[in-house]
Chain A
Amino acid sequence: MSNIAISLLDIEDDASQCLVAEDYQTRVGKWCAGCGDFGALNAIKRLLAKEQLQPEKMAFVSGIGCSSRFPHYVNAYGFHGIHGRALTIATGLKLTRPELDVFVVMGDGDCTSIGAGHWIHATRYNPNLTVLLLDNNIYGLTKNQTSPTTPQGYASNTTPRGSFLPALNPLQATLGVSNASFVAQTADWVPAHLYATLQAAYEHPGFSFVRILQRCPKFTSDVFAEQIKDPDLTELLVHENGVDAPGLDKLFKARREHDPKDIDAARALAQRTDKLRLGMFFRNDSFPVYDEIRAVPPVTVEDKIARLNKEFDRYAV
């Protein structure tokens, strides 16, 4: 409490230093009207303002796809890289600049298809990154191709008679990786839950993986139509260590107590397809965090040269 009081005082002392959500946006997102990416951007802006993060002390790393345009719209350092590889860049950045807040934004094709190897391994490395999977179940930028998370039977340009296979379940996959430390699911049409989930993800020390269910207004506008129409088809995972937000209890009547420390229960819930589940599936902040366990104290130039000379004595003839 005292920390909060102090920070409030600081703000009052110099109100001009206080950044509001709009200060974190550089320009209007060039996404289609109704795109779920806007919801994620709004939630992030709110989070950054709440945390009063300094724009130069954070970086947003993305891959390729509609969602990967994200960094361009945030007042922060950004790295709009190559398809599927955002996690590798973010890991390298975090290892060498642990003081920066590093966010990663990926789409479903980006993360779960071309970048699947990095996703699995970054989960295990567990670097302190806040990871957003903007999952609209389709390749949008390249115009309507089936992605691993496209529902079975869904027609696209590459599977015009319907997608052949059951969709890949990113929660299940992530929860199956050893050292996975934070797995949550939220949705673009529940902004309060989305914001609360990102808040929890930001606070988690480790690889916080948030799957954000969303719609592509062009190609998958109806994938979650039933759930949006009938809130009873969605079950909210609740717990004192979970995610909650004001008003959610009125919106969703189906609520399940789930302790996010219970990995077995988390895996079982992630696997079930009877309902859409939003909430904190798993969280354990005692797992090894890669950038912490690999932290190397700096060495002065003088010491380096002295040590090199000693090293070269081993090779001297």
Chain B
Amino acid sequence: MNRTANSGATITAVPEHTVEIITNSGEGAQKCAQIFGQTCAKMGNGVWTVEIIPAEIEPPAHTVTSTSGNIIRFGTNKITNWGDQSKLAIAFNEQVCLSRHRLDSFEDGCIILHESMWETHEDENIRAAYAEAMQEMSGKNYRFIPVPIEEETLKIVDNAQHGKNMFALGLLTEIYQRDLALIEKQIAHIFKHKSAKVTEVNIELVKHGIAWARENLGFQFDIASVPAEESRVVMNGNQAAALGAIAAGMEFCAMYPITPATSVSHELAAIFENYGGMVHQAEDEIAAAGVALGASYGGKVALTVTSGPGLALKTEFLALAIMTEIPLVVLDVQRGGPSTGLPTKVEQSDLLAALYAQPGDAPKVVIAPRSIEECFHSMVTARRIAETFRCVVLVLTDANLASGVQQFTRPEFDARWQQNPIDFSPLTDGLRPYDWDTETGLSRRVIPGTPGGQHTVTGLAHDEESRVSYDPESNERGCKMRSRKLAVFQSTLMPPPVYGDEEGDLLVVGWGSTQGAIEEAVDRARNEGKKVSTCQLTFLSPLEPGLKEIFSHFKKVMTVEINYSDTVGDPYITEETRRYGQLAWLLRAHTLVNIDCWTSCPGQPLRPNDIYNSLVAKLETGASK
């Protein structure tokens, strides 16, 4: 439905839009997007933002590899994922625009506001590159609108490099009728450590962008917002995990820098000491695990944060924690692998390594938060499980959750989360360091300082007194007790909820961060009358109970995952040789149900539309289980 604004612009009402701000690295796209996203959230829109990050700090500017920026999807209702293609983009040059075009990021008809100076640039090579790029993009029906971004910015500041982003923010403010007072407040907040003049100039740039848009564009979009009834916060998954660790009463984090996990430690390092905590930057990933384990041994539940390559290095220490039954929380922010893989990009390829990387039988708890909100709450859960069951809890998030920004219900902190459960009372004769309850495998945790509790913990096979014992009986008992704890823990879990009907033609099973995109795809299929449901797993080890029963009500079951699996029909690939997606592998082994999978590892979050297509294909052609 269109209306006309006072300025004469046509206003089109839409339920949601996806916007990209794409620039060279270092041109401030993140700040622009951050302020815009925060403003949308404050106005009551659902928001999800995704960062576009180059792997290098300063890649060569004005090339297809230099693209840095943000995607902001916002709408009237709750937004749970980055959606499909973008409807509007602001591009500071045609090369970054081309890189997004090649990734099929823009929808047909996408409005692209792009810097106009390159077309007529004095450098012949730049003009030629511009023409070539525009030619390549001409196949799509984009609506290119040249904007003299730099020229207009220079009317306010001397260095356009530090200003174009705010001019762009002005364009967006006008196009989407954002509340200027909120924008001004955000700018003042972001530049609060700089002089008042900086805030002033940035606001002036925004106003100039607004004026330019009003005069030249002639269109606006109206995305209605419904102010939330409950109090909400907006943050990214790494911030949520860091604050979750504090809310969980954790007081120690040891880490080694690794993308995309490091910013968790930045958040913690800034404020942890106000909560009696500290971040220790260790000399390497192994040491980070060792120092964390030492802190836990002393009576804390320590945290170590890492990503794939770092998780590989910590393997031996995690086995030691499991063997000695010292609680430890590990946050693995998954990126593309194997090896150094895709440092800044999302994948769900660490699942089986999380479960099985340790040589020897090394049971641990593995949790995968499904949303940014769960990144917060998972840390509270993780600490409690680690402590209660004297075990390692590995929390698997990913680059999508880490840098994605979403709002969620503001948590109410519970003093019980902070409780220190350590009991220092002297050990009475006969109470042993591994005094396993043979039914549950649980035992009291005895830490240094407890009178009468002296013993030596060891990674070697041991008995209830923690004495090295290589006899068959002791080893079997140790394995059994460590494993039993997981079964006991599983008995406290509920079966996962099914989204959609509890029976039908197809059940889509996902895990972790893909929940929003999968549910959106399933919604679409269900609106078309397809009998599809979905179920998103949070606990991967132990698995939530009742899966086989849930699966039995569907004709077909398939997983959707961001990882690699073979495609039957590819050279050498048959039903027999085919390697499955990691969750599919796990569920097949666990349930003996013939579960199929659709996986993809493009280095970006899954798009609802691609998931939709995969489940339609499965409904039409896939074999029943």
A-side interface residues toward B, CB under 8 Å?
26, 55-61, 71-72, 75-82, 85, 87-97, 99-100, 117-118, 120-121, 294, 296-299, 301-302, 304-305, 307-309, 311-312, 315-317
Give Cα distance in the complex from A299 to B275, angstroms.
Answer: 6
CA gap between A311 and B293 in the complex, in Å: 28
Residues 258-292 of B, flagged 1 when their CB comes within 8 A of A and 0 if not, give 00000000000001011111101011101101111
With A95-B280, A97-B299, A118-B287 in contact, is A317–B448 under 8 Å at CB? no
Min CB distance A217 to B, Å, is 22
Contact A93:B243 (CB < 8 A) given known A56-B451, A82-B317, A304-B418: no
CA distance A80 to B293 in the complex (A): 13
Minimum Cβ distance to chain B for residue A151 (Å): 29
Chain A residues near B294 (CB-CB < 8 A): 61, 79, 88-96
A301-B415 contact given A93-B298, A117-B283, A294-B280, CB 8 Å threshold: yes
Question: Does B340 lie at the interface of the complex (its beta carbon under 8 Å from any beta carbon of A)?
Answer: no
CA distance A120 to B251 in the complex (A): 26
- Are A316 and B233 in touch, CB under 8 angstroms? yes
Q: Which of A82, A89, A294, A299 contacts B274 (CB 8 A)?
A: A299
Contact B243 A79 (CB under 8 A): no
A301, B418: Cβ atoms under 8 Å?
yes
A-B contact sample (16 more), CB < 8 A, given A56-B454, A71-B456, A294-B278: A56-B448, A56-B453, A72-B458, A72-B468, A88-B293, A89-B291, A90-B294, A91-B294, A93-B448, A97-B448, A118-B290, A120-B283, A297-B276, A301-B415, A301-B418, A316-B233
Q: Does B459 contact A (CB under 8 A)?
A: yes
Q: Does B100 contact A (CB under 8 A)?
A: no
- For the complex, is B295 an interface residue (Cβ under 8 Å from A)? yes
B:282-333 near A, CB below 8 Å: 282-284, 286-287, 289-300, 302, 316-317, 320, 324
- Across the interface, do B295 and A80 meet the contact criterion of CB distance under 8 Å? no
1/0 per residue, CB under 8 A from A, across B437-481: the answer is 000000000011111111111111000000110000000000000
Known contacts A78-B455, A299-B275, A312-B233: A85-B286 contact under CB 8 Å: yes
Least CB distance from A19 to B in Å reads 13
Task: Say yes or no: is B254 at the interface (Cβ < 8 Å to chain A).
Answer: yes
Q: Nearest chain B CB to A56's CB is how many angstroms away? A: 5
Is the pair A117, B287 in contact by a Cβ cutoff of 8 Å?
A: yes
Contact of A76 among B41, B251, B452, B454 (CB under 8 A): B454
Supposing A88-B282, A95-B280 touch, asked if A81 and B459 sit within 8 A by C-beta, the answer is yes
Contact: B455 with A77, CB < 8 Å? yes
CB proximity of B104 to chain A, nearest CB, Å: 32
Contact B449 A56 (CB under 8 A): yes
| Pairs across A and B, CB under 8 Å, 23 listed | A56-B450, A72-B456, A72-B458, A77-B447, A80-B458, A81-B320, A82-B459, A92-B292, A95-B280, A96-B251, A96-B302, A97-B298, A100-B449, A121-B287, A296-B273, A304-B249, A304-B276, A305-B415, A308-B247, A308-B275, A312-B410, A315-B233, A316-B232
**Bound complex: CA of A90 vs CA of B280, how far in Å?**
13
> B42 interface residue, CB < 8 Å from A?
yes
Closest to A78 in B: B456
Query: With the chains together, A305 CA to B468 CA distance in Å?
Result: 43
Closest-by-CB residue of B relative to A71 is: B456
- B460: A residues at CB distance < 8 A: 80
In the complex, which residue of chain B has the Cβ closest to the Cβ of A97? B298
Bound CA–CA A77/B447 (angstroms): 8
Find chain A residues with CB under 8 A from B453 CB: 56, 77
Beyond A93-B448, A317-B234, whether A304 also contacts B246 by CB under 8 A is yes
* Chain B residues near A311 (CB-CB < 8 A): 243, 271
Q: Give chain A residues whose Cβ lies under 8 Å from the Cβ of B246.
A: 304, 308
> Which B residues touch A81, using CB under 8 A?
290, 320, 459
- Is B413 part of the binding interface, using a Cβ–Cβ cutoff of 8 Å? yes
147-176 of chain B: CB within 8 A of chain A: none
Most buried by B among A77, A87, A298, A311: A77
Most buried by B among A57, A75, A311: A311
Q: Is B49 close to A, CB under 8 A?
A: no
**A131 vs chain B, min Cβ distance (A):** 14
B231 touches A (CB below 8 Å) = yes
Is there a chain A Cβ closer than 8 Å to B407's Cβ? Answer: yes
Q: Nearest-CB distance from A281 to chain B (Å)?
A: 24
Closest 7 CB pairs of A and B: A92-B294, A88-B290, A78-B456, A92-B291, A89-B294, A121-B283, A77-B448
B window 420-452: CB within 8 A of A: 447-452
CA distance A104 to B282 in the complex (A): 18
Contact A317 B273 (CB under 8 A): no
Residue with the greatest number of chain B CB neighbours at <10 A, chosen from A58, A78, A301: A301
Q: How far is the CA of A99 from the CA of B42 in the complex (A)?
A: 48
Q: Which residue of A lies closest to B228 (CB)?
A: A317
Nearest CB of chain B from residue A65's CB, rounded to whole Å: 13
* Residue from the set B233, B407, B410, B454 with the largest chain A CB neighbour count within 10 Å: B454
Residues of chain B lying within 8 A (CB to CB) of residue A97: 298-299, 448-449
Would A95 and B278 count as touching, CB distance under 8 A?
yes
Is A95 touching B413 in the complex (CB atoms < 8 A)?
no
Nearest Cβ distance between residue B417 and chain A, in whole angstroms? 9
Q: Which of B42, B231, B276, B300 contacts A299 (CB 8 A)?
A: B276
Distance of A69 from chain B, by nearest CB (Å):
8
Query: Which B residues lie within 8 Å of A79 (CB)?
Result: 294, 297, 324, 456-457
Cβ of A25 to closest chain B Cβ, rounded Å: 12
CB distance from A70 to the nearest CB of B (A): 9
Give complex CA distance A46, B285 in Å: 37
Please give, as numbers and ranges, the residues of chain B lying within 8 Å of A96 by CB-CB distance.
251-252, 294-295, 298-300, 302
Check B81 for interface membership: any CB of A closer than 8 A.
no
Contacts of A76 in B (CB 8 A): 454
**Closest Cβ neighbor of A297 among chain B residues:** B276
Bound form: Cα–Cα A117–B284 in Å? 8
Complexed CA–CA distance, A133 and B267 (Å): 38
Closest chain A residue, CB of each to CB of B292 = A92
B243, B283, B290, B293: which contacts A308 (Cβ < 8 A)?
B243
**For B252, what are the chain A residues with a Cβ–Cβ distance below 8 Å?**
92, 95-96
Does B334 interact with chain A (Cβ within 8 Å)? no
Are A89 and B293 in contact, CB atoms less than 8 angstroms apart? yes
Contact A118:B456 (CB < 8 A) given known A92-B292, A97-B299, A304-B418: no
* Most A-side CB within 10 Å, residue of B273, B289, B407, B413: B413
Complex: chain A residue closest to B413, CB-CB:
A305
Q: How far is the CA of A161 from the CA of B320 in the complex (A)?
A: 37
- Cα distance A297–B249 when bound, in Å? 15
CA distance A233 to B228 in the complex (A): 83
Known: A96-B252, A312-B410, A317-B38. A77 touches B286 (CB 8 A): no
Cα A310 to Cα B154 in complex, Å, equals 39
Residue of A71, A93, A316 most packed against chain B (CB within 10 A): A93
Quick check: is B541 within 8 A (CB to CB) of the other chain?
no
B577 to chain A, nearest CB (A): 37
**Cβ of B287 and Cβ of A85 under 8 Å apart?**
yes
* Most chain B CB within a 10 A radius of its CB, from A26, A75, A99, A312: A312
Q: Give the residue among A57, A95, A96, A305 with the most B Cβ atoms within 10 A.
A: A96
Tell me the minimal C-beta distance from A60 to chain B in angstroms: 8
Instruction: Tell me whether B235 is interfacial, beta carbon within 8 Å.
Output: yes
Q: How far is the CB of A134 from chain B (nearest CB, A)?
A: 17
Interface residues of B in 210-241 (CB under 8 A from A): 228, 231-235, 239
B454 contact set on A, CB distance < 8 A: 26, 55-56, 75-78
Closest chain A residue to B279, Cβ basis: A294
Interface contact A93-B295, CB-CB below 8 Å:
yes
Contacting residues, chain A, for B300 (C-beta < 8 A): 96
Bound form: Cα–Cα A80–B407 in Å: 46
Expressed in whole angstroms, the Cα–Cα distance for A60 and B42 within the complex equals 54
Contacts of B280 in A (CB 8 A): 91-92, 95, 294
A13 to B455, CA, bound (A): 29
Is B459's CB under 8 angstroms from A92's CB? no
